[in-house]
A = this chain, B = another copy of it.
Amino acid sequence: MDIREIAKRAKVSTATVSRTINRVPTVDPKLAKRVWRVVDELGYFPNTQARALVSGRSRILGLVVSEITNPFFPEIVQVFENIAVQNNYEILLTSTGHDPVRMEIAVRRMIEHRVEGVALMTFGMEESLLENLKRRKIPMVIVDVGPPRPLVSNIRVDYQHGIRQAVQHLAALRHHRIAFISGPLRLPSARARLDAFKNAMHELDLPAHDELWVEGTHTIEGGVEAAGRLLSLPSRPTAIMCSNDMTALGVMRKSHELGIHIPHDLSLIGFDNIHISEFVLPPLTTIEMSQAELATLAFNALLAELQRKTPNPNGTEYALETHLILRESTARPKQEADNAKKKKAAR
């Protein structure tokens, strides 16, 4: 069942069928009606392969995430896919796990499918990947912290803002020994978060002891492990900030195991604001980086690039804000709380 079959039955040419289906406005309504009748009767659906081939437009967008198993990403996939479908695009999804091999395979798949654009939501580490796509002048958006790159649009996340808010919040609570569990440092975004933390500490003249930051993996397991080290320190931190929420969940778990109560004995702040953070016990104070906004920004960036007649050689810069979400995983450190009580009693 193809366009010719429809044409024959509706007694028009294939060109008219094509125009009708593509809603070209100049088609005589009488003919159009005849065409639609037959289309509906036969349950005809145009073949996207043929369309793509002749039009030179695949209507497919590549979406690369690092770990679909981390709750941060499904949200992004969901939103991105929704908007894509609304705009008649399909998406080619890859979860690379930061594995260069899978990344390379992903690039091959995307090129073979002639994707019209690629959104790289892997938060760093894909330089080599870009080259092949760039050579083919495929529009790209990337979440990045480096300098602007030619031909690539950039969503610049303002890590500093949210992280500063968090550190200030902790400082206001009178925390001094604040630890940081970073993500894998080969990820530029993880490095950027760590730097933002150090900056914020510095701004407030708080000591950023080297023993008080450890490298994590952005997974629960990594959080458990890192917390184990941090909490066995002779002089324990009174607060821990994490490079993502999964890590924070790991810290919660480990603290519980050690009989350390959050927030009474230890304050904890995450990063991402994944949906579940609101529901763990205690509800996690965290820094929001909106998944929906990120996905929307990425899609629109791609769409904008696709709609230009003359491709922008410089790529466009976009910005995404982060900010603190106060919940219940932070409190005054015990020592301080005791002092406060004493003071009160003394009066």
B49 touches A53 (CB 8 A): yes
Which one of A89-97, A156-164, A303-311 contacts B? A89-97
In the complex, chain B residues whose CB is within 8 Å of the CB of A58: 49
Q: Which residue of B lies closest to A75 (CB)?
A: B69
Residues 51-74 of chain A: 1 if any B CB is under 8 Å from the residue's CB, otherwise 0?
011000010000000001101011
Does the CB pair B92–A109 fall under 8 Å?
no
Supposing A78-B95, A81-B93, A90-B109 touch, asked if A49 and B46 sit within 8 A by C-beta, the answer is: no
From the candidates B52, B68, B81, name the one contacting A49 in the complex (CB within 8 A).
B52
Q: Does A112 contact B (CB under 8 A)?
A: yes
**Size range of the interface on A?**
35 or more
Residues of B within 8 A of A280 (CB): 253, 280-281
Inter-chain CA distance A281–B50, complex, in Å, is 54
Q: Is A48 an interface residue when CB atoms closer than 8 A count as contact?
A: yes
Chain B residues, CB < 8 A from A109: 85, 90
The answer to the question of A132 belonging to the interface, with a C-beta cut-off of 8 Å to chain B, is: yes
Taking Cβ atoms with an 8 Å cutoff, the residues of A that contact B are 43, 45-50, 52-53, 58, 68-69, 71, 73-75, 77-78, 81, 85, 90-95, 105, 108-109, 111-114, 132, 135, 220, 224, 249-250, 252-253, 256, 275-276, 279-281
What 4 A-B pairs are tightest by C-beta distance, nearest first?
A49-B52, A49-B53, A68-B74, A45-B111
Pick 21 A–B contacts, CB within 8 A, sort by A: A43-B135, A45-B111, A45-B112, A46-B112, A47-B112, A47-B114, A48-B112, A49-B50, A49-B53, A69-B78, A71-B74, A71-B276, A85-B105, A85-B109, A220-B279, A249-B276, A250-B279, A253-B279, A253-B280, A256-B281, A280-B281
